[in-house]
Amino acid sequence: MASYSQATIISISVILIMGIWSSSSSAAGREPFACDPKDKTTANFAFCKVSLPTKERVKDLIGRLTLQEKVRLLVNNAAAVPRLGIKGYEWWSEALHGVSNVGPGTKFGGPFPGATSFPQVITTAASFNSSLWEAIGRVVSDEARAMYNGGVAGLTYWSPNVNILRDPRWGRGQETPGEDPVVVGKYAASYVKGLQGNDGDRLKVAACCKHFTAYDLDNWNGVDRFHFNAKVSKQDIVDTFDVPFRMCVKEGRVASVMCSYNQVNGVPTCADPNLLKNTVRAQWGLDGYIVSDCDSVGVFYDTQHYTSTPEEAAADAIKAGLDLDCGPFLAVHSENAVKKGLLSEADVSNALTNTLNVQMRLGMFDGEPSAHPYGKLGPNNVCTPAHQELAHEAAIQGIVLLKNQGPSLPLSTRRHHSVAVIGPNSDVNVTMIGNYAGVACGYTTPLEGIEKYTKAIHQQGCSDVACTGDKSFNAAIDAARQADATVLIMGLDQSIEAEFKDRAGLLLPGLQQELVTKVAAASKGPIILVIMSGGPIDVSFAKNDRRIGAILWVGYPGQAGGAAIADILFGKSNPGGKLPMTWYPEEYLANLPMTTMDMRSTPSKNYPGRTYRFYNGPVVYPFGYGLSYTKFQHTIASAPAVFSVPVHGHRKAQNVTVFDKAIRVTHTRCNKLSLRVHVDVKNVGSRDGSHTLLVFSSPPGGRGNWAPHKQLVAFQKVRVVTGSTQRVRFNIHVCKYLSVVDRSGIRRIPMGEHSLHIGNLRHSFSLQAATLGVIKS
């Protein structure tokens, strides 16, 4: 959905590809995981014969395993099978935005002291650039393979997080690509393609989309994720929560899906055959394995008391479709479950079929690792200049300009000989990489980035983001009085928003707002507020304060975040990011428990609804908002006024196919049903710049409570030189993007007048049904 015309990423990609083949680094002598060519006892095993189909190899291996050996392979720290020449394996590694050491499968040190740490996902999502997302995935998988070859990492990475940012307080919202299900799904498919490679059925590394499903609460108001039962309507499941996972499996062809801790409508997700076996595997066609979030099986037995015995818990999980347990539970209790007749050995074998299939596709049973296409990657392929430049470029593309009065930005090295750099996030490094990060190659803090352009007068003002005291305020105020401009770098960090920690509110913590206001009153030059955070913040005070000339949101911008911030501040780069989530006022939370999952509003109960699709009240900044240093004009070059949707008739009842003037997507020919829209984008400003075109659609009125106000149907990022025009061509899939989901969870295409929204442009078009023939019930 987003192809980006950008020389930077193309040139970086060329460097990366050349680097793979020109590197002299090697696999550092990693021994084969299995099928060692020097081991004559395994040489004739069918599972070691690369020439055979993977299915036959897996079947042969499973046939050689005892039940005791099988159950010890059902967990993340899978045991060795010495008699078959198979080593132990740690399945748990993480690569959310760079190779991470959060899981036990990855260790930094020695020849691998660090890895490229890209911006946190919420920041990269703000680029709305799917080619960038895939390019980051390629770099991360290069470094992951290199570290695997060096014996310090695995090949199975439990990333990305593709949950919806349903509630702005969620501590893990920073890990997600935001609130729109289509953007999240496109991010998932793009990043997964970058991670897993494009070598047919073979995998470079195996990605995992998590946490399935309706998981977006960690610890709020006495309710934690281990005890939470998410009560979700069928409508919201199909319309919102399923969308990113479905796209990840069907478009990204991800190798794994992780089920979550919570229950959904009274059933633990890791014990729900409707979710795992019927939806993920049967309907969507997952070619891979399903893994539990860590200790989830133990949680639904010990904490949720879903089953009476641990053997029942093990049986329920495996029969529901779970293949791998992050934790010891299945290894401890599955054998007894078989002995008690709760589970068959065939059930255990079916689970192993899926995990072993992935290991085979990764080449782990192909013998000598150095013979693998990526077997030559090593330390020289980690933290390369090209990789680090891509991290810098990603940070630039993710920064969002929210306010620019005057304009106050960009700053000038000719006029601004000194800049006061103030705030608890003004000289941070680890804060910039967010959570689920590893050890970065190196850092450029905001202060260091600014100092490369001009003299900086540095005062923190607050010792940390909690900002509980004002004893350092006067020094900060004095710095602002002296300097030609003031940059306040405020916001959050992992002490405020994190896994296990949801926020109580949306305001800046502690006395941060007071510090900003007092410094702004004293500064003799322009005042720039920089917000570093994952979740949205109510900065209404700064938006409405005329003394504060500009506001930037930089997310958690990664290892090169300080350089990117400075490049934007001083105009070397032109901001082009857009908000991937709505920024709400604090009052939005007044009647909004995190535990209420409903996406749609309920006016009779003063329930406001969630995300831009269903909330229609006041906002601080809307989803998709972001300014530039230049100006762009849009013109619709071509778009249909009427579009025909072919419909099959139906023998049983006409309203099965057409209900409330909306056609079931299953009753039309969806494959090539796309609306073609061409938009011209002209740069009428004085600077070259990148522009994100967001195309929204509003369905016909009268849909009651089962249609969104509007929904994103397409997006694309283009670079437009000043004075020039670029034509952007969209093919909007009618069934995927112009459909809505009714109260029964049925996806339908509304007939009648739809409206496209592209910036300030509006284009109306009519969808009309064209009957083809009769289909059987």
Cα(557)–Cα(443) distance, rounded to whole angstroms? 11
Cα(153)–Cα(645) distance, rounded to whole angstroms? 51
Residues across the chain: 777
CB neighbour list of residue 160: distance below 8 Å, 6 or more residues apart: 96, 121, 175, 177, 187, 188, 191, 192, 207, 209, 210
Of 698, 579, 746, 556, nearest to 180 by C-alpha is: 579
Kindly report the number of other CB atoms within 10 A of residue 615's CB atom: 22
| Three-state DSSP class for residue 233 | coil
Cα atoms found within 13 Å of the Cα of residue 380, Cβ hemisphere only: 14
Beta bridge partners of 528: 487, 550
67 is written with which tokens?
């039940």
Cα(64)–Cα(57) distance, rounded to whole angstroms? 11
- Contact at 8 Å (CB) between 394 and 118? yes
- Which ranges constitute the DSSP H helices of 550-675? 561-569, 611-614, 654-657
Q: Is the dihedral of CA 58, 59, 64, 69 positive or negative?
A: positive
**CA 742 to each of CA 234, 659, 665: distance values in angstroms, whole numbers, following the listed order:** 9, 10, 12
**CA 46 to each of CA 41, 66, 583, 669, 691: distance values in angstroms, whole numbers, following the listed order:** 12, 17, 57, 44, 54
578 is written with which tokens?
């857009």
Cα atoms found within 13 Å of the Cα of residue 662, Cβ hemisphere only: 23
CB neighbour list of residue 114: distance below 8 Å, 6 or more residues apart: 108, 382, 383, 438, 439, 440, 441, 442
Which residues are marked as active site?
Answer: 293
Of 667, 745, 664, 655, nearest to 706 by C-alpha is: 745
Cα(414)–Cα(426) distance, rounded to whole angstroms? 23
Residue type, 502: D
Cα(400)–Cα(628) distance, rounded to whole angstroms? 9
Beta bridge partners of 659: 662
DSSP H or E segment with residue 235: helix 234-236
DSSP H or E segment with residue 715: strand 711-720
Cα(663)–Cα(742) distance, rounded to whole angstroms? 11
CB neighbour list of residue 694: distance below 8 Å, 6 or more residues apart: 128, 578, 624, 712, 714, 715, 758, 759
Beta bridge partners of 220: 223
| Three-state DSSP class for residue 78 | strand
Cα(585)–Cα(619) distance, rounded to whole angstroms? 6
- Contact at 8 Å (CB) between 439 and 484? no
| Three-state DSSP class for residue 267 | strand
Cα(558)–Cα(9) distance, rounded to whole angstroms? 17
Kindly report the number of other CB atoms within 10 A of residue 463's CB atom: 12
- Contact at 8 Å (CB) between 519 and 424? no
Largest separation between any pair of C-alpha atoms in the chain: 81
**What is the Cα gyration radius of the chain?**
27
- Contact at 8 Å (CB) between 744 and 712? no
